[in-house]
Every structure is written in structure tokens, then in C-alpha cells.
Amino acid sequence: MPAETDPAFEALLGFLRDERGFDFTGYKRASLMRRVRRRMESVGIDDYEEYHDHLTVHPEEFTALFNTILINVTSFFRDADAWDHLRERVLPDLLARRDEQPLRAWSAGCASGEEAYTLAMVFAEVLGVEAFRERVKIYATDVDEEALSVARAAAYSERDVQNVPEKLRQRYFEQHGQRYLFRKELRRSVIFGRNDLVQDAPISHVDVLVCRNALMYFTADAQAGMLQRMHFALRPDGVLFLGKAEMLLSHADLFRAVDLRQRFFRKTITENPDRRFVAAAAHPRARNGESAQLGALRDAGFMSSAAAQLVLDPEGRLAMANNRAGNLFGLTSRDAGRPIQDLEISYRPIELRSHLDEAASRQRHVWVRDITWHRPGGDALFMELQVVPLHDESGTAIGTTVIFHDVTHHRQLQDELSASTRRLETAYEELQSTNEELETTNEELQSTVEELETTNEELQSTNEELETMNEELQSMNDELRVTNDALREQQDQVTRLNFFMTSVLSSIDNGVVVVDGALTVLAWNSKAADLWGVRTDEAVGVPLFALDIGLPLEQLVPMLKRQLVNDGDHETITIDAVNRRGRPVAVHVTATPMRLEPDDTPGAILVMDVIEPPGGQPPAESDSPLVDGFGNS
């Protein structure tokens, strides 16, 4: 059953036809709506009117829509058995009738050109390359300009040519990197152009027309119009090569099958010859002296004839009527001798007088067919009328015989046969439509599989990239682990060194202060804390001259500057100071420059030793220790 029409969808098809010249109204609605729906879903639209507006606002969407509708599923040597049959049987038979004449072929619905170049290779194999170049022209057409651009380039991937036999691939293709190019000298014999099979004029005088799996996308009416154009395009003995889903069972008036299994058809000549009925000669008159028995036999045969028969004399009066005529038309013996125009049979079931006049004037029999007689209270009778002038042996007209042939049973059988034929044709058309729909679905599935394969390859490529990134991250993680181990080891070394320095500074019996070039305290041992009453955590990180201690630090400035600038030997100075208990003491301060590496910031180490208090008193013992040089108690 045809798909229910949608006014919005039909309006969309009209818009495509008027705006871009693509007439899809002849396409089967189920497949066409499915393809358009698929494109609408990709742009997030579920309403035909909204998609109509989307096309108006976004003209670039036309290209994507046409690429979705026009399923360019094709390949080299698709259905290889059929191409072998073309090469081995069809073309040799055609060439035998052409001698050295030029040959024209048409690949209709060529898509991206694979079938057109396949046809070129088959011709070249049968004729030879030189004869092919001189004699053959192949016209390849399609409605998809983008596909035609691919076809004109004649460049295909290794995957595209995988169905081409190896020897043909080496003979007809040139490999350039990852692409296979069809040979230029043969490519010139293949001419590509745009042609719409539904509405454009066909290419004429074609010997071989290849149109494979294109008709199945169209409705029955559109197919009929396309086949009329193809019939016109072919020469009288031209060959039509269709796809495996197309059988032409209901178009026997245009094409007859040459090989139905491989889908080869030949053009049927539609002009009918003039067929005329030849009447049998009238029964001769009995010769003089015939026996009475023979006359009785003749009369009995006449009366028992299955056809209703009348015999009229030369004046048009009823001379004889057999039993069938009497029963059928109600004639009796009283009607004998009456003029035919006075009898009902003269105008029922047909106007008889005009045909009698015609037979008499032309002296030839008259045959009238398709007579229908609706008898009152009975079934309709179908009859054929035969009016035959009668002559004697000398050729003199002696009367006319009128014969009514009852063809009711034959007509019924014919009607039943016609009905059966129509049902069979309908069944064939439904079968073919189902087959075409199945093939369409298969091609859509093939297109979807190819898209899924492309997507799968992209996903595989992405997965490989992710695996590469994962390996890089794992490598970075290993590097970070090594770096972390190295840092941990260095931290342990620093910890051990710090512990060692703390132990060293704590074991020194003098106050020790380490400063950098800006005189900021870097180290402050426990003896210094005990001497001046400032803990290590209070001193470290603080400028030396910002500390409030009993040592007059300003007296150390000249000596520290010399140590920081000149990097010479150590210097010693004795200064009077006040310790943390407020008692005066004499402090012996030794400054030593400090530089571990040539590029390090200079610093100085101050060692403070209490010599004696002013007046020669020994220094008092501290009541309790404070903290060591790094803040440890």
C-alpha cells in the first residue's frame, strides 16, 4: 500500500523542486520520508514545516539533505555474474550486428562513476583498447553534482577498487600514492553530465543502457515515465541492463526479457501490424442433380449449426433461419418471406440494415465485433456478427447470409483471464515493489554500515590517541615518582645536615650568629640565646640590627661591611656589653666571611666570647639555658 501523504511533506518536496530544481515527487514516499527524517534528526528538528523554514534560513543545508536522500551506493563490478554475462553473451551478440559502426552506451544514475568505468572496462575487454577508443562513447548521468565531481576525477581509494580483478586493476588503473586513477586515454571516452530521469530528455540512439537499482526508488507512475524515456533512448535492438531488484514484469509492452535472471532486456517494437480477418468462402450451391438425401443432409446441418444463422434472398427477404436463430431471436415459419426491415432482428441486438447495405455494395463480407445484447430478464450475451454475400457458380449474387456467433463463454473466459492477469500483474508489482523496498533498505543499511565503519575507525583512532596519552602520562608519572624519590632523598639529606649543624652549633661554648649579606639572621645558637635573652625562633629571619640586645651592634658595622665586601680573613673586636641579666660584660666578637660557592650571596659568622666583666670580675654563671641555635631546648 502507498504511504499516506502528508501535506507538509508534499509542500517541502514542492519547495525543493521550485528552489533547487530537484523533483523528488516521483520517489516512493516511505523511503523518501525515512531519509528526510534522518536528516531532520541530525539538525534537531521533528516538524516538516520547521525544517522548511530551516532550509530557507540555512541554504547550506540543501547539500547535506541531497547527500542524505541520494543514496550513492555503488561499486565496481557490482553483481559480478551479471557483468560476466554482459561481457560473454550480450556484447558479442550486439557487436556481431554492428560490424564496425560506432557504439553508444548510457549509464543512467551513475553516482560516483564506478559503474560507468566498469562498463568501459567490459567494452575494452571485448573490443580491445584501441577499438574501444575509436568506436565507443559512454554517457554517464546523475542528478547529484557532488557525486559527478567525484566521478569526473576518476580517482578511487584502495577500498573502492577492491572488487576490480587484479589484472584489470593493473591494466586500467594507475596508482598514485594511496589513490587509483582510471587511465586518461580511456577516461576520455566516458562523458559525465547531469540528467534527471524523471523529467529530462533521454540520450538517444543508445546500444546499451545501464540503469541499475535506480528505478526501485520511484513510484509506479514515475517508473512508467522513465521506462518510456529509456524505450525511446534505445535503438531497435538495444539492450537494457537493470539491477537485481528490477524485473519489468508489468512493462512487457516496452521491453522483453533477454535474461531475466541477470536482468537484461531488449526493446519491444510497439508498432502493431495490420491484421485483417479473412472470411471463409460461402457454401457452394448444390449442383444440379444432387440427391435428395444430400439436400436433406445439407438442410439438417444448416439447422443444427451452433451459430445463429439467417439467409436472405436478393431482395432482402428472410429465406431461411436455423434452429439457433429461431430460439435466440424468436423467429418462426410465419416470418419466412418477410422483409428483414420488418423484423425485430433488424435493429436488435444491433442495427443490421447498414451492415447488409455495406456488404451488398462492396460485395465483401462484413465483420462486427463486441456486440453486447442485454435480453429482458436474462444475462447479457456477447456476440460477433458476420455478413457474407452469397454467389452462384457464375458469380451472380443470390442472397446474403447473416451469422451471429455467440462468444459469451469466450468473453467470460477472456474477462476471467484479464482479471487473473491483472491480479497477477498486481501481485508481480507488489512483489517487485517489496523487492525494491528491500533493496532500498539494504542499500540504506549498507550506507549506514559504511558510516558506522567510518565512525568506528574514528573511535579506534581516538582510542589509540588516548592510549598514547595514557602511556605518556604513565611515563610522566614514572618520572615524577623518580623525582619525588630524589626530592625525598634530598630532604632526608637536608634533615640530616640540619641535625648535624644543630649539633655542631649546640656544642660550641660561644655564642654564634650567622647573617646573610643583608645582615638578616640565619642562625642563632643556644649560647647566643643564653647570653642575650633572645630565643632562636625570635631571632632567625630578623635583621641583626633590629634585635634589642645588650650588645652595641653599631660598633660591628665597619667590621661586617669589610667581611661582606672584601671576603678577607677574620677580624676580632672587643666590645663592652650588657648580658641578659643586665650585668656588664666584655665580649670578644670575631667576624669570619662565609661563602660556600662562588655565586652564593655573601654572609658572615659572628662568634661572641665573654672575656670578663669590666673591672676584672669573671662572668656570672647563667641560671638556666635557653634554647640551642635552631630553637631546640
Structural domain boundaries in the chain = 7-69, 80-267, 297-406, 509-612
Any bridge partners for residue 219, and if so which? Answer: none
The residue type found at 288 is: N
Residue 431 has pLDDT above 80, yes or no: yes
Q: What is the mean pLDDT of residues 216-230?
A: 86
125/615: higher pLDDT: 125
Residue 233 has pLDDT above 50, yes or no: yes
Helix 29-42 and helix 408-507, axial crossing angle in degrees, nearest 10 = 20
Q: Is the dihedral of CA 325, 327, 333, 338 positive or negative?
A: negative
Residue 538 has pLDDT above 70, yes or no: yes
Q: Is the dihedral of CA 187, 191, 193, 196 positive or negative?
A: negative
Q: Which residues, other chains included, contact 23 with Cβ-Cβ below 8 Å and sequence gap of 6+?
A: 13, 16, 17, 196, 198, 199
Residue 143 has pLDDT above 90, yes or no: no
Residue 473 CA to residue 627 CA, distance in Å, equals 48
DSSP state of 257: E
Q: In what order do the strands lie in the sheet with 103-108?
A: 190-194, 136-142, 103-108, 206-211, 234-242, 264-267, 255-259
The confidence score (pLDDT) of residue 597 equals 62
> Is-contact 393 285, C-beta < 8 A?
yes
CA dihedral 5, 10, 12, 14 (to 10 degrees): 160
Query: Percent of the chain having pLDDT more than 90?
Result: 27
**CATH architecture assignment, domain 80-267:** 3-Layer(aba) Sandwich (3.40)
Please state, in angstroms and as integers, the Cα–Cα distance from residue 384 to each residue in 257, 311, 322, 323, 417, following that order: 35, 17, 17, 18, 20
> Is-contact 591 606, C-beta < 8 A?
yes
Q: What is the mean pLDDT of residues 69-78?
A: 82
The confidence score (pLDDT) of residue 612 equals 64
Cell 660550641, located at residue: 508
Residue 134 has pLDDT above 60, yes or no: yes
The confidence score (pLDDT) of residue 568 equals 61
97/302: higher pLDDT: 97
Main-chain dihedrals φ then ψ at residue 365, nearest 5 degrees: -75, 150
Q: What is the mean pLDDT of residues 195-205?
A: 88
The confidence score (pLDDT) of residue 596 equals 58
> Is-contact 66 106, C-beta < 8 A?
no
The confidence score (pLDDT) of residue 270 equals 65
Please state, in angstroms and as integers, the Cα–Cα distance from residue 417 to each residue in 372, 381, 427, following that order: 19, 18, 15
Any bridge partners for residue 191, and if so which? Answer: 139
Q: What fold characterizes domain 7-69?
A: Chemotaxis Receptor Methyltransferase Cher; domain 1 (1.10.155)
Identify the weakest region by mean pLDDT among 151-160, 182-191, 343-352: 343-352
Residue 82 has pLDDT above 90, yes or no: yes
Residue 621 — pLDDT band, cuts 50, 70, 90? very low
The confidence score (pLDDT) of residue 190 equals 94
Residue 619 has pLDDT above 50, yes or no: no
The confidence score (pLDDT) of residue 554 equals 86
Q: What is the three-class DSSP state of 363? A: coil
The confidence score (pLDDT) of residue 600 equals 66
Residue range 407-418, pLDDT digits in tens: 888 888 888 888
Residue range 287-332, pLDDT digits in tens: 444 456 776 777 777 888 888 899 999 888 998 889 888 888 888 8
> Is-contact 22 66, C-beta < 8 A?
yes
**CATH architecture assignment, domain 297-406:** 2-Layer Sandwich (3.30)
Residue range 236-268, pLDDT digits in tens: 989 999 988 777 767 778 898 888 888 999 998
Residue range 487-508, pLDDT digits in tens: 999 999 988 888 888 788 877 8
Residue 381 — pLDDT band, cuts 50, 70, 90? confident
Residue 535 has pLDDT above 50, yes or no: yes
Cell 435480453, located at residue: 375
Residue 286 has pLDDT above 60, yes or no: no
For domain 509-612, give the CATH number: 3.30.450.20
Strands 136-142, 173-176: pairing is unpaired
Q: Is 370 left (phi over 0), alpha (psi -120 to 50) or beta?
A: left
The confidence score (pLDDT) of residue 599 equals 62
Q: Which residues, other chains included, contact 500 with Cβ-Cβ below 8 Å and sequence gap of 6+?
A: none
| C-alpha R_g of the chain | 58
Checking 466-475 for CB contacts under 8 A at 24+ apart, the result is none
Residue range 158-196, pLDDT digits in tens: 999 999 999 999 999 999 989 999 999 999 999 999 998
Q: What is the mean pLDDT of residues 275-286?
A: 34
Q: Which of 125-134, 278-287, 466-475, 513-522 has the highest mean pLDDT?
A: 125-134
Residue 75 CA to residue 85 CA, distance in Å, equals 17
* Mean per-residue pLDDT over the chain, rounded: 83
Q: Would the CATH topology of 7-69 be identical to that of 297-406?
A: no
The confidence score (pLDDT) of residue 14 equals 86
The confidence score (pLDDT) of residue 192 equals 94
